Amino acid sequence: MTIPTPHIEAKSPDEIANTVLMPGDPLRAKFIAETYLDDVRQFNQVRGMLGFTGFYKGKRVSVMGSGMGIPSSSIYFHELFAFYEVGTIIRIGTSGAMQPYIALRDLVIATASNTDSNINSGLFGPYTFCPTPDFELLMQAYNRAKEMGIRVHAGTVCCSDLFYRELDPRVTERLQQYGALAAEMESAGLYMIARKLGKRALAMFTVSDSLVTKEAESPQARQEAYRQMMELALEIAPA
């Protein structure tokens, strides 16, 4: 495939930075660009999936929406890595807590991604492949979060193909028993594609609701809490 791709209209890899931050919502990408970046230039608006490149404290960074779920986000992950020479993607999203000690607004960093998706079906014979992030990036994020005073948890997450999924309660309880921290919908796709193409990836999530306590943040409160994660991602983004 040549560029521009069917989903990204940037005409050259030079329009996109080496590191791309990716929230699901393109309006959040716009908010990050307008709030944190200097000398901003828009490189994409195809299908309303906004993408911008600018400078954060002198460091060139891009930010782009990904849409929701593995099928949507994987299109952008693949095209950015494979055709635009992006080296690192940091997924910044929201999640539902699966452990009682994880509170609303806490940060969860995915050390590995359990998934019900068929993205790796048949690829590894009898093995169930478990996609993981870049370890150095993971450690940088965890340590920097501590320095910034963010309540942070690192562990496995559950990445589902369906938002409205009715699981057997025994399955959920087993996942919780085995230490799954949160539920979300994109990390497995990101980690699989990054591993396949030899790129760097990290997924981290602000907790917006709890599957344990049934609490949930208001949209305004989510936005305020989300800013901590945005700032952390910008701080650790490789140049």
Which of 18-27, 75-84, 139-148, 215-224 is predicted with the least confidence, judged by mean pLDDT?
A: 215-224
pTM: 0.96
* Residues found in the chain: 239
User: Average pLDDT in the 60-74 region?
Assistant: 97
Residue 7 belongs to some domain of the structure: no
Residue 4 belongs to some domain of the structure: no
Residue 199 belongs to some domain of the structure: yes
Residue 6 belongs to some domain of the structure: no
Residue 137 belongs to some domain of the structure: yes
pLDDT for residue 223 is more than 70: no
User: Average pLDDT in the 59-87 region?
Assistant: 97
Enclosing domain of residue 232: 13-236
CA 215 to each of CA 99, 108, 182: distance values in angstroms, whole numbers, following the listed order: 13, 17, 14
CATH number, domain with residue 122? 3.40.50.1580
For residue 221, what pLDDT is reported? 72
Q: What is the pLDDT of residues 47-63, one digit of tens each?
A: 999 999 999 999 999 99
Residue 158 belongs to some domain of the structure: yes
Residue 8 belongs to some domain of the structure: no
Domain count, the chain: 1
Q: What is the mean pLDDT of the chain?
A: 95
The residue whose two tokens read 């952390």 is 232
Catalytic residue among 14, 25, 106, 209: 209
Q: What is the pLDDT of residues 111-145, one digit of tens each?
A: 999 999 988 888 999 998 999 999 999 999 999 99
Residue 2 belongs to some domain of the structure: no
Report strand pairing: 182-184 vs 200-210: unpaired
Q: Are 89 and 81 in contact (CB under 8 A)?
A: yes
pLDDT for residue 225 is more than 80: no
Query: Which is more confidently placed, 163 or 151?
Result: 151
User: Average pLDDT in the 85-106 region?
Assistant: 97
SS (H, E, C) 142-209: HHHHHHCCCCEEEEEEEECCCCCCCCCHHHHHHHHHCCCCEEECCHHHHHHHHHHHCCEEEEEEEEEE
Q: Are 237 and 90 in contact (CB under 8 A)?
A: yes
pLDDT for residue 153 is more than 70: yes
Q: Reply yes or no: is the peptide bond before residue 238 cis, omega within 30 of 0.
A: no
39 catalytic? Reply is: no
